[in-house]
Amino acid sequence: MKFVVTAGPTREYLDPVRFLSNPSTGKMGFAVARVAAMRGHEVVLVAGPVSLKTPKGVRRIDVTSARDMLAAVEEEMAKAKSGKPTIFVATAAVADWRPAKCAPRKLKKGQMSDTLKLVRNPDILKEIGRRTKTAQSPTRPIIHSPTYLVGFAAETNDVIAEARRKCREKNLDMIVANDVTEKGSGFGVDTNRVTLVRKDGSVDRLPLMTKLAVARRIVRECEDLCP
Ligand code: PMT
């Protein structure tokens, strides 16, 4: 199978030295890419700005912003050979907004206002879901190969209910929910405590595990998704 995995944060610049971002380090996504490659799958890792080594056997595409990440994912998904199942695992913490304007030169303090105008970024996972599961994208070509979509949900409250909502709204086969306020879970650490929420409504709460062990479980679930 082909795995397309997103990892890390995106950066949304307002001038060449200032940006909006988040604390994602890419550890979770790199673990998924590493395990999928170790299990013999073709793996493309679309990574935001992180300082991790590329796992063996993985093709890596470095990106900066959400729009760059969407373009790279679209290209990889469209390249999928017909008949070869493609799994999209979206572990990246994509910035939902970006500054409305990016200045070409560093803004002087006197040039900056106290409020920043933001615009919405594309939702990469939702866009790919629209193009593969519902064939409803007015502007972009539909992807025809069999595709399975796995999202992540970084939550601070109502973890399972929010994950269920995202699974439905983004047309996912499975979503991996993590409470990022819990000790040893979420951003930056080597462990994660996740709950798998499947399209059919079934739920598996996993104990605190290393991100590598979580990745093994996710890749196995993905393999089971494909007939
Ligand atoms: O990188 P680490 O330091 O190891 O941390 C791991 C992690 C906490 C980043 C990871 O486990 C995690 O939870 N990733 C998802 C973070 C997130 O952005 O969640 P969300 O609930 O905001 O988004 C839901 C899903 O939609 C995610 O699969 C996300 O990749 C995707 N999304 C979100 C917004 C957007 N504009 N485009 C997207 O594709």
Residue ranges in the chain whose pLDDT is less than 70: 81-82, 133-146, 227
**What's the pLDDT score for residue 177?**
96
**What's the pLDDT score for residue 140?**
62
Domain parsing of the chain, residue ranges: 2-225
**What's the pLDDT score for residue 131?**
80
Atom from ligand 1 closest to the CA of residue 122: 36
Here the tokens at position 26 are 């890419």
- Residue 91 CA to ligand 1 center (angstroms) comes to 5
Q: Cα 36 to the chain's mean position, in Å?
A: 15
Q: How far apart are CA 147 and CA 53, in angstroms?
A: 28
Per CATH, domain 2-225 is 3.40.50.10300: yes
Rg of the chain (C-alpha set): 18
**What's the pLDDT score for residue 36?**
98
**What's the pLDDT score for residue 144?**
56
Does the annotation count 121 as an active-site position?
A: no
